[in-house]
Amino acid sequence: MALEKVFGRTPPESETVSFTVSEMQFSVGAVEKRGLRDFNYIRIAADPDKKRIYFGFEKKAHPESVKFYAQVGRSCRKMCSAAGLYKRYDWIAKLRKQEADKRRFQIKSVDKSDKEAFEHYMLYIQL
C-alpha cells in the first residue's frame, strides 16, 4: 500500500486564491510557481458579466494598486485586502458567508486573445 500525503491546508502544488473576511490569500503554490514573491503591489479588476477577478502585479506602487504583502514567519503565502471588492460588488461580498472550501478558486492565466485584460493583468479567477 502506497502512503498518501495529508495536508492540513491546501496542497502546496495547488495554485489558488482564498477569500477570508477581510483579504484575498494567494497560496504558496501560486506564489512559487507564478513568481509572485518579488511583487509588492497588486492591481485588481472585476468583470461582473463573466464573474471574474483579474490580477496584475507590480514591483512599485501605482495609483491603481494595493499592497501585496507576505505573511511573516509562517509560510510563503501572499495576500491583499479584499475590503474594496466586498464593498463594491455584492457577488463578491457573498463569499464572506460561504464555507471555506467554496471561497477557494483556481488561478488561471489571462488568454492573449482577451486584449482588454491581457494588457494589464496576467492572472484571473472565475467565481
* Residue 67 CA: distances (Å) to CA of 40, 42, 43, 54: 6, 6, 9, 16
**Total residues found in the chain within this entry:** 127
**pTM score, whole prediction:** 0.84
Beta-ladder partners of 18: 25, 104
Nine-digit cell string for 69: 504583502
**In this structure, which amino acid lies at residue 2?**
A
Which has more confidence, 74 or 26?
A: 26
Are 22 and 41 a contacting pair, CB within 8 Å?
Answer: no
Residue ranges of the domains in the chain? 24-126
What span, in angstroms and rounded, lies between the C-alpha atoms of 16 and 81?
A: 16
H/E element holding 90?
helix 90-93
pLDDT confidence bin for 29, thresholds 50/70/90: confident
In sequence order, which residues have a C-beta less than 8 Å from that of residue 120 and are 6 or more positions away? 43, 45, 54, 56
Write a three-state SS string for 12-29: CCCCEEEECCCEEEECHH
**Per-residue pLDDT tens for 40-93?**
999 999 999 999 999 999 999 988 899 998 877 667 789 999 998 999 999 999
pLDDT band at 100 (very low <50, low <70, confident <90, very high): confident
Q: What is the mean pLDDT of the chain?
A: 86
pLDDT at res. 71: 74
Average pLDDT of span 92-117: 87
